[in-house]
Each structure stands twice: as structure tokens, then as C-alpha cells.
Amino acid sequence: MTELTSVGGMPWALASMIGLPVLVALLVATAREASQAARIAIAGAGATWIVVVVAAAGQLGDDVPQAGAYAGGGEPVLGVSLALSFDALSAAVAVLAATIGLLVQVYSCAYLAGDPRYRSYACIVTVFVAAMNTVLLADDLIVLLVGWEVMGVCSYLLIAHHWELPAARDGAAKAFVMTRFADLGLLVAIIVVGASVGSYRISDLLVAVESGRLSDSTITAVGLLVLLAVVGKSAQFPLHTWLPDAMPGPTPISALIHAATMVAAGVYLVARLLPVIAASTVTTVALGLLAVVTMVLGAAFALAADDVKRVLAWSTVSQLAYMFAALAVSGYVAAIGHLIVHGAFKALLFLAAGCLAHAVGSTAIAAMGGLRRPMPWTFWSTTIGLAALVGLVPTAGFFSKDAVFGAALDATHVQTGAPVWLAWLVLVAGLATAVLTAAYATRLWLLVFFGAARASRQADTVHEAPAAMRVPVAVLVVPTLLLGPAVLAPGWLGAQAEPFHLGIAVLSTVLVVLPGLAVWAAWRPGVDPARRLGRARRVLARELRVDDGYDRAVVRPVGGAARLAVGGDADVVEAYVRGTGWGADRSSWLLGLAQTRNVATYVSLSVVAVVLAGVLLGVLG
Amino acid sequence: MPLLQPLLLSSALFGIGVYGVLSRRNAVLALMGVELMLNAVMLNLVAFDVWLRDSLLTGQVFTLFVIALAAAEIGLGLAIVLRLFRAYGTVDVDALADDRRADPVHVT
Amino acid sequence: MTPELVVFWLLSVLTVASAVMVVSTPHVVHAALWLVVTLGAVAGCFLVLTAEFVAWVQVLIYVGAVVVLLLFALMLTRSPASTTGATSRNRPVAAFAGFSTFGVLAVVLTSGFRGIVLDLDSQPDQLGGAAPPERIGDTRSVGEAIFTHWVLAFEVLSVILLAALIGAIVVSGRVRDRDRQEAAAGGGS
């Protein structure tokens, strides 16, 4: 990669991609009232979007990245340089993040209308976009870590937006602790890179890996540590449990952070460091196996979940695993294509779920049903989004998923970094996950929009969402439908695009239509098709008790240690403090006995003391 | 005549004086105990002077000084006792006990 | 057993007995009168010890002036009506203090000066120098000692007496209203 340390016109545009949202966040934070904050936030998001699109337009399809170092020339401070790099990968993800950021800002001003904490919410969302852009633009791993952690903080704050709810507080804490634990991996990986490469620049790292300067064990260590961070950030097995519990946050946040961008940052990081991962078979196999386990488990959990947002969260986990699986079998373009497409349709689905929650007042599936007629906009956009999720023919999801399968199929006979058995495993698991995906998507679709309306609900209270919420959903329908061929366009990511595989396409279409039909057959109005699962449903609804395991293995020992520390403080350390006070009290009582308020006693004691002192002097002297 | 004779007498007188000062509630009577102690000291001074045969008569001269000082002391002491009596209406040293306790808040 | 020793023994017994009466009698006026006996007996002791001038000064100032002063004080404070002179509460401690003081003094003096005999008849100067021809404790020799060698101390003593005089006048002067209020506030509680 070339490095342009001279600062031309373009690097300032790159800097403004980060600086502009920060400036907007400051303005939002100092806005006097909510409506002013909303205007500033939307205008700022729009301006950011324009900057990003203009910058990205020249970059998509271009093999040579733009790079700029803002370290002020000379030796970078402490080995850290404020280096930015902007290539096709960054551009694609940045456009996704900016687009969804803008739509979410528009959506939120209606969704959170009247919310007393709207200003801080809009501010944090803007900061989040800045942090995401930092991660995307960083060419220095330390700079990337800063953006990475700021995203984690924003995620924590936004999940806990409704901190009155215990579920929101617990979910925020859980997400923060789990991702922070995983982030330790990234930190250690950065330290290892700095020690072995001598620079924190990603470009230097990749050059070092290509030139074979680094030992295999170092590459494996860095790869595994990066994987730990990514597994946490993107909610992959075994750190997958935080994402569904993050759903008490506002729905637009789920769309922006927990579906389209932040969790996608993990995919982005693996894609960015793919040469490091692919250089070691161990990390490649680890990535592939984690992805396989996660995609099947996530889809299975989604099948039994009883909350719309939880279904979508598990589907996000499952779909992210698709991308990791594609990366494991060297399907770089397929993974990024699926990332972009998934970002679009998952944001659509979450925003539509927000419309449902806005109308019904809850996100529980049990509270819904028969919403097709009162909410036609939401119905049709959700239908298209679910079709893309399943991968039905005309939607973008069909093409991107086909690309993933195609990459796995290629890896079974073309020599790549991944072993052949892993490629087959990815292919089979991917197809199985597609079946499960079709099943849970059909179930969700039927339970929410068909059947009888719930008797507990007044029919006239259900209404279509306001325009500020409908329009972003409708806008997202466009990429959900049309992005597919674009993903297949040759060279858009600066690399060889995945060709279309007809055989796989037919197979996958059959595999998704059949379970959909089966679920439809099992469905009666008012009956959950998941009941057909029998006892397996209970097991899946408990999500294999992974959280119970964490509770036993981590939470309770830590709690016990905390209680021990508190007890030690109270019974041991404080005992000294209390004992000091008690001793002073007792000794003062003892001395107080001498205070008889009688002058004669004092004089008597003095005389006795003098006499005794004289005797002592005589005896000793 | 053994020197020990006046010395032991002075010791006894001094002990009795101490007892008088400490045990008497009436301030005037306590002053009498002080006088007894002073007399014990004077007896000692004279006895040693006689033993040493000092040409400057230090012991006896000091005894005279002690007598003068005792006169001054009794004058001042009685003045204080009178003052106490006028202020408190009693010369009982037990009744003059200071009942005020230190306020723990203000102890620094 | 010389005559001086017999006399001194008798005076000693009288001194101790009257001193005990001074500190133990419940009648305050009786205590003052017993004090006269004690002081007089001590003056007798001085005489036996050849300190003639000191003995007469003792009689004049102590028995004459101090005791009279004490009697006046007792009357001015209306103490004669009171018969409770001793503190019952503090008596054991006081007795212990008195006995221990006596014990320590007696032990120290006995261990230090046992076996020394006073020569009350001849006048050799043990510290050297010429022995005065007269008896050592008479008015003349004491007066010479005071007004030759000890004159400075004597003058200082006169200043102290003057200060005590002025102090006694000031202290026993009229209690001002402010002091009375302070006393009422402080002593009444």
C-alpha cells in the first residue's frame, strides 16, 4: 500500500468525516431544546452523509487507497501516528454507516418525540457515527482502538437509554462487560503487533505479513487475539449472549448499532486484517468453526424467541456469522457484500419493528397479530426485508447469500487458506441455517401480520407510524431490493467479484421455500408454529443455558469474591478502625475516673506520684 | 543528741501536714496543714545548721526567710480564701469543685 | 540520755500529738488552738537545738501573728459554726499520702544520717574558719550573718513581702458585680 504523507485536498475530507460528526455532537449537546437538537442532528447527519458519499464515490472500485498521516511530520509520538487510510472497503462500510445514521436520526425524532433525554440520545448517536468513521478510516491500530472503544461506550449508553427499566440497565452492563472483556484481546493484539512489527500502522502490519517477516506463532497469536475482540464486538459464539439482551434499548439504536454498524465493525476488522487471519490455518479454522456454530445456534434461537426484536437480534448474530464464514473461506467480496446488504435489510427490519412497537406499545410477539391491514406500509416493507433475510430471488439478500455459498463452494475445490473440510462444513451449515432462517422469518411474518388481532388491544389504537418513521423504512426498501446486482458488479471492492452460481441459487431457493411452506402449513391463526418443535422449543427458548453457565462460571465467583472483599473490609479492616475508637473510648473512661472534680484528690494524687517518683529514683538511681 | 531525732520529728510533722492539707475540706484548715509542713522544713534546716556549724549560719537565716515567706503566704492565702468566701459563700473546697465538663465537640 | 534529749523527746511527743489534733479535730477553732501548741513546741525544739533567735521569731511571728490571722479568717468566713472540717471522701487517700511521705522521708533520712551526733556544747567550725566565740544561734550572730552576708537576699525578701501585702489587699478587696455574676454562673452549676 502506498502512503501519502503529504496532505492534499482529500485527506481533509477524510478528517472531516470524523470531525464533522464530533462538531455536530457538540452543537446537539448545547442545543437549547429538543426540536432544535433534532434539526441540528438531522442536518449534521445529512452533511456527514454527503461528505462520506462524495469521498466514497471516487474510491469504490479503486484499488489504490487514499492515505494521510496527520502526525505532524517527523517521528510519530510514542509510535502512534494519526494515520488515515481510505480504500474501497472503508468507503463501502462508511456509506452504509452514514446512510443508516442519517435515516436513524430522521426516524428517531419521531420515535423518541417527547422523550426527555432526546438530546443526549441524538448527541451519542452522532458521536457513535464519528467513532464508526474513526474505526473505518484508521490506519493506525491505536487510533482504531480509540474508535472501537468509543463505539462500545456509546452502545452502553444507548442500551441504557431507558435506564428506569432494570432490563435496560442489566443489558447495558452485560454488553459493556462482555465487549470490554473481548476488547482486551484487541489491546493485547495491538501490543504484540507493536512489539513484533515495530509500528502500529495496519499497512505496515500487512506488508510485514506479506513479506514473511513475522513468525507463524506471532501471526497466529495476533489473529486469535483479534478474533477474541471480534467475537465480543460482533456477538459471536461464545460471547453471543449480550446482543439479544441489548434489545431494551431504543429500536433505532438496535437498527443502527446492533444490526448495521457496530457489530459489523467486527466483520470490517477481520476483513481489514484478512491477510493476517488467512496466513494462519489455526485462526482460519477457529474463525470458520465459530462462525458455523454461531450461525446455526443464532437461527435456532430465533426460531423459539417470543419477542420481535429478540428474533431480529438472533438473526443478526446468525447473519454476522455468515460473513465470518465467508471470510474464513476467503470470500472477501462475498462477506463485505453480505455486510452491506444485511446492514440495509436488517436496519429496515428493526425500524419496521420500531413502527410495530410504536403502534402496539410492546415488542412481544404475543401482543401482535393481524397487523397487516392497519399497517400496510410496515407490512410491505417488513415483508421485503424478511424476504431479503431469507434470500428470496429478487432481493439483494438472495445475491449476497448466494455469493457466500459460492465462496464456500469455490473453497472446496480451489486451493485457499482454508482446509477443504472447513469449506464443506461452512457450505452445509450455511444451507442448514438458510432453512432455519426461512422457518423463523415465516413464523415471525405470520404471527405478527396475520391471524386475529389480539382481543386485549383496541383496534382503533393501532395506527400506521408517522411519516418521519415510515419514510426511512421505505427508503431502505430500495437498497434491499436493488443492491443485489451491485454486489455482483465486478471490481466494486477493488477485488475479484464473486460470480453467480446458478446451481447453488436453485438449491438454496428450494431450501428456503420448503421450510417456509412447512411453517405456513403448521400455522393456524392464534397458534405459534414453534409449538411443533415440542420440547426442543423450551431448550431453544432458554438459549441452551449459556448464560446460566456464565452465571455459574463467572458471575457467581466474582460476586463471591466481591462479598469476600466486602466482608474482609467490614470485619477485618474496619475492626481495626472500630477497635481504635473503642480503645480510645475505654481509655478515656479510665482516665475520666481520675477526674473527680475534687481539688483535694488531685493534690493527693500529685503527692503520691511525687513520692513514688522519689522512691523510684532512689531505687533505680 | 543524735541528728536523727529532729529529722524524724520533721518527717512526722511533714507527713501530718500533708494529711491535713489533703483531708481538710475547710480551706483555712488546709492552710494550717501547709503551716505544719513549713515547720517541718524549718526544723530540718535548723538541725542541719547545728550539725554543720556553718559560720554563715545559712540554715538559721533560711529558717528566718521561710518564716517571713510563710507570713506572706498565709496573708495571701487567707486573702484568697476570703475572696472565695465572698464569691461562693463557702470555703469548702469540695463544694468549689468545677462541675463544668468539657464539651467534646469543641475539644480540639 | 542527756537532759537535752529528754526535753527534746517530750517536745517531740507534744509536737506530733498536737499536730495530729490540728489535722483531726472537728472543731475549727480548736484546730487553730492546737496549732498554737504545735508551733510553740517546735519553737521549743529550736531552743533545744541552740537556735535561740529563730525560736523567738517563731513564737513572735507564727504563734503571735499567723495564728491570729488564721483565727480572723475563720471568723470572717463564719467557719466557727461549722464542725465538719475533714473530707470524708478523700481521707483514705490523704492518709496514704501522708504516711507514704513520712515513710519515704524517714527511710531516706535514717539511711543517710544514722549515727551522727549533734554537739550542742562546743562550737568548733566543721567547715573550717574561725569559730565565733558566742553561742551560734543568738541574736547577735544571726543578725551579723543577715546584715553582712545575706543582706541582698534580705532586701529581696522585703520586696516579696511588699508584693504579698499589695496582693493580699487587691485579692481580698471588694468583689465587683461582674465577678459576682461570673461566680454565680460558674460556681452555681
What per-residue confidence (pLDDT) applies to A25? 86
Domains in chain C (CATH in brackets) are 3-80+123-186 (1.20.120.1200)
CATH class of B4-98: mainly alpha
8 Å CB contact of B94 and A604: no
- pTM listed for this prediction: 0.65
What per-residue confidence (pLDDT) applies to B43? 94
What per-residue confidence (pLDDT) applies to B36? 94
Neighbouring-strand partners of residue A128: none
DSSP tag of A367: G
Contacts with A604 from chain C: Cβ below 8 Å: 90, 93-94, 96-97
For residue A208, what is its C-alpha cell? 510485514
CA torsion through residues A323, A327, A328, A329, sign = positive
- Give the minimum alpha-carbon distance from A586 to chain B in angstroms, rounded to a whole number: 15
- B–C CB contacts, 8 A cutoff, strictly below: 289
Angstrom distance (rounded) from CA A597 to CA A545:
74
pLDDT of C135 over the 70 cut: no
Reduced to 3 states (helix: H, G, I; strand: E, B; else coil), residue A201 is strand
What per-residue confidence (pLDDT) applies to A9? 44
**Closest alpha carbon within chain B to C58:** B67
8 Å CB contact of A611 and C101: yes
**Closest alpha carbon within chain A to C108:** A618
Angstrom distance (rounded) from CA A408 to CA A330:
8
Q: Which of C90, C96, C102, C110 to mutate to test the interface with A (most CBs of A within 10 A)?
A: C90
- Cα-trace Rg, chain A: 30
**Per residue in A452-476, is it b (16+ CB within 10 Å) or e — as a string?**
ebbeebeeeebebbeebbbbbbebb
Q: Which residue ranges in chain A fall short of pLDDT 70?
A: 1-11, 61-79, 416, 453-462, 488-491, 493-498, 526, 534, 544
* Residue A611 sits at the chain C interface (C-beta within 8 Å): yes
pLDDT of C133 over the 50 cut: no
The question of ipTM being above 0.90 is answered as: no
8 Å CB contact of C90 and A605: no
What per-residue confidence (pLDDT) applies to C189? 40
Longest distance between any two alpha carbons in chain C, whole Å = 66
8 Å CB contact of B51 and C91: no
Reduced to 3 states (helix: H, G, I; strand: E, B; else coil), residue A73 is coil
| Segment C7-59, tens digit of pLDDT | 999 999 999 999 999 988 888 888 899 999 999 999 999 999 888 899 999 99
8 Å CB contact of C90 and B49: no
What per-residue confidence (pLDDT) applies to B107? 40
Please compute, for residue C166, the number of CA atoms within 13 A of its CA located in the half-sphere on the CB side: 5
What per-residue confidence (pLDDT) applies to A78? 66
Angstrom distance (rounded) from CA A389 to CA B46:
124
Q: Which of residues 40-99 of B touch A (CB under 8 A)?
A: 93-94, 96-99
Q: Measured between alpha carbons, how far is residue B24 from residues A10, A600, C3 in Å? A: 105, 8, 37
Q: Report yes or no: A205 and A197 within 8 Å, Cβ to Cβ.
A: yes
What per-residue confidence (pLDDT) applies to A517? 83
Secondary element (H or E) of residue B98? none
| Segment A402-461, tens digit of pLDDT | 888 888 888 887 776 778 888 888 888 888 888 888 888 888 888 888 777 665 555 556
What per-residue confidence (pLDDT) applies to A495? 62
Quick one: residue C78, left, alpha or beta (phi over 0 = left, psi -120 to 50 = alpha)?
left
Neighbours of chain A (3+ CB pairs under 8 A): B, C
Alpha-carbon torsion, ordered C149, C152, C158, C159, to 10 deg: -170
Q: Report yes or no: A439 and A303 within 8 Å, Cβ to Cβ.
A: yes
| Segment C55-74, tens digit of pLDDT | 999 999 888 888 898 888 88
Q: Report yes or no: A454 and A367 within 8 Å, Cβ to Cβ.
A: yes
Angstrom distance (rounded) from CA A369 to CA A375:
11
Secondary element (H or E) of residue B53? none
Task: Report helix angle A376-390 to A396-413, nearest 10.
Answer: 10
Q: Which of residues 83-102 of C touch A (CB under 8 A)?
A: 87, 89-90, 93-94, 96-97, 100-101
Q: Which residue has the higher pLDDT, B104 or A221?
A: A221
What per-residue confidence (pLDDT) applies to C13? 95
For residue A283, what is its C-alpha cell? 485462526
Secondary element (H or E) of residue A69? strand A66-69
- Give the minimum alpha-carbon distance from C139 to chain B in angstroms, rounded to a whole number: 11
